[in-house]
Amino acid sequence: MFFPNHGDIFAPCEAVVEFIFPTRHALGLRHASGLEMLIHVGIDTVQLEGQGFEVLVKEGQSVQAGERLLKADLDFLQKNGKNTATMLVFTNLEEKPLMEWKKRGTITHEDTVAIIR
């Protein structure tokens, strides 16, 4: 889980956009290795029905590590009582070996946070 200090959400690695939730608060990615990821912006943000979010990619699009995926209006989320905690969930990690953490704490979109072996 991370807490963005601005509204830009970036691709964690080279991947294909598998799906975008209709409410624009979450999207799914698939790496060429088969690793699947879900990026979910905020808690209970689905209730905003897409308000406060702008998706910058399309389903089926290939993206590079560090490419902007979506923008969230963090002030709007907070004014509407939503926590801005953002999750990156590996949905099929059990099929992959150990994850090695490279960095914790304050990060930028250019940092390598973890390596999946």
With a CB cutoff of 8 Å and minimum separation 6, the contacts of 46 are 21, 23, 25, 26
With a CB cutoff of 8 Å and minimum separation 6, the contacts of 103 are 111, 112, 113
Q: Which of 6, 25, 31, 40 is catalytic?
A: 40
- Per the annotation, the verdict on 6 as an active-site residue is no
3-class DSSP state of 101: strand
Alpha-carbon distance of 21 to 61, in angstroms, equals 15
Q: Which run of H or of E encompasses 74?
A: helix 74-79
**Catalytic center residues:** 40
